[in-house]
Amino acid sequence: MLSQHPYLELPAPLLFAHRGGGLEVVENSRAALEHTRHLGLTYFETDVHATADGVVVLHHDPDLDRMTDTSGLIADLTWDEVSRARDASGHAPVRLEEALADYPELRFNIDAKAEGALEPLVSLARRNVARVCLASFSDSRLARIRAAAPEVATSMGRREIAAMVAISRLPLGRATSVATSRLPAATAATCLQVPIRHRGIPVVTRRLLDLAHALGLGVHVWTVDDPATMVRLLDLGVDGLVTDVPSTALRVLDERAR
């Protein structure tokens, strides 16, 4: 049985709009939030940084240069300064608190991109436990999040995932025992969010899925934009797809349901 955490209570497979559907709309933007809502999706995958005065902002890069008409590191700017920037859709960057309030039907999968964002991010997550899952490539950052807010859903970090892949090569019963006894994230995390492969090494395998499911962990795969690959992964039994083309993913799910 998969995790009973309220964040993942909807039936699989789940669709996560990666940055709100970055190949269909301006990523991590107000337009992306509207796009996700319009498609009827529930899960919005995003990234956050914090301003100099502690405001958590939906934004992938540490600076504003690529996505807005303004330059500068978000961590060096106040929210007042960041709010004056405009993206290609004509909107200002979005505060996470604002997104949570304005889109109550959405659940947010959030990659904590910077140390400075942790404290205000965890505070917001604790007030929205059913709607937030926190992610990071950093195992140490995730460990601090879990220590501060064990009730908040988290995915696994790079080293934790590598350990899961290695352990999954054991027979399932042994693998489950080893993971439970030697990998704290096996019981502390809510899900794995993984690429199909890493540096040529397969990550998403039947063995990994079996181990994750035996531990009650959902497996969400990123970033999947090819319809044939979506079908293959769904047939394999993954619990969710993270995609830049949510409109395409919805069509794939609809065709499978017919």
* Catalytic-labelled residue, pool 35, 49, 59, 60: 60
Q: Would you give the distance in Å from CA 87 to the centre of its chain?
A: 22
Residue whose C-alpha is closest to residue 166's, from 155, 178, 154, 157: 178
Is 18 assigned a catalytic role? yes
| Residue-wise burial string across 211-244, b where 16 or more C-beta atoms lie within 10 A, e elsewhere | bbbbbbbbbbbbbbbeeeebeebbeeebbbbbbb
Cβ burial of 66 (10 Å; 0-12, 13-18, 19+) is exposed
CA distance 109 to 44: 6
Name the token pair of 53. Answer: 């005065």
58 phi and psi angles, rounded to 5 deg: -75, 110
Selected catalytic residue, list 5, 18, 59, 220 = 18
Q: What is the rounded (10 degree) CA torsion for 46, 6, 134, 232?
A: -60
* Alpha-carbon span 240 to 231, nearest angstrom: 12
91: annotated active-site residue: no
Q: Catalytic residue positions?
A: 18, 60
